[in-house]
Chain A
Amino acid sequence: MSDPYKILGVSPNATDDEIKTAYRQLAKKYHPDNYAGSPIADLASEKMKEINEAYDTVVAQRKREKAGGYSSYSSSNNTYGSNNNYSNYSSGFNDIRNLILVGRIADAEMLLNGVPAENRNAEWHFLKGTVLYKRGWLEEAFNNFSRACQMDPGNAEYRAALNQVTNQRNGYYGGYNPNVGRANNFSGCDVCSSLICADCCCECMGGDLISCC
Chain B
Amino acid sequence: MFGYIRPQKSELLVREYEQYKGVYCALCRQLGKSYGIISRLTLSYDCTFYALLLMALSDECCEFEKGRCTVNPLKKCIFCKTGEKELIKASAISVILTYFKIRDDVVDSHFWGKLRAYLLLPIASSIRKKAARDFPKMDKIISSAMEKQKLAESDKNSVMDFYAEPSAKMLGEIFELSVDKTDENYTQKVRVLQQIGYFLGRWVYLIDAGDDIEKDIKNGSFNPYILKYNLNATSSQEDIMEVKKYANQALNLTISQITAALNILDFNCYDTIIKNVIFKGLPEIQKELLYKKEKMHV
Name A residues whose Cβ lies closer than 8 Å to a Cβ of B: 29-30, 34-35, 38-40, 43-44, 47, 132, 136-140, 142, 165, 168-171, 173-178, 181
Contact = CB atoms under 8 A, between A and B. Distances in A.
8 contacts: A137-B165, A169-B250, A175-B286, A176-B251, A178-B245, A178-B287, A178-B291, A181-B287
Mostly helix, strand, loop or mixed at chain B's interface? helix
Contact of A176 (B168, B188, B202, B286): B286
Contacts of B251: 175-176
Interface stretch (B92-100, B102-110, B260-268): B260-268
B258 interface: yes
A47 B264 contact: yes
Interface stretch (B116-124, B173-181, B214-222, B275-283): B275-283
Most buried by B among A34, A35, A173, A174: A174
Nearest to B252: A175
B161 interface: yes
A5 B188 CA distance: 23
Interface in B188-241: 188, 191-192, 195, 198-199, 202
Contact of B257 (A29, A30, A136, A177): A136
B188 A177 contact: no
A178 to B, nearest CB: 6
B195 A137 contact: no
Contacts, number: 101
Contact of A44 (B255, B264, B278): B264
Nearest to B283: A176
A136 B255 contact: no
Contacts of B249: 169-170
A123 B161 CA distance: 22
A29 B263 CA distance: 7
A50 to B, nearest CB: 11
Given A138-B253, A178-B248, A43 B291 contact: no
A138 B250 CA distance: 8
Contact of B287 (A43, A165, A176): A176
Nearest to B285: A176
Most buried by B among A47, A168, A176: A176
A139 B252 contact: no
B259 interface: yes
Nearest to B265: A43
Given A139-B159, A139-B161, A169-B250, A174 B255 contact: yes
A34 B253 contact: no
B195 A40 contact: yes
A168 B250 CA distance: 9
Nearest to A167: B256
B282 A175 contact: yes
B42 interface: no
Contacts of B279: 174
Nearest to A132: B161
B160 interface: yes
Contacts of B58: none
A181 B280 CA distance: 12
A134 to B, nearest CB: 11
A168 B253 contact: yes
A10 to B, nearest CB: 16
Nearest to B284: A176
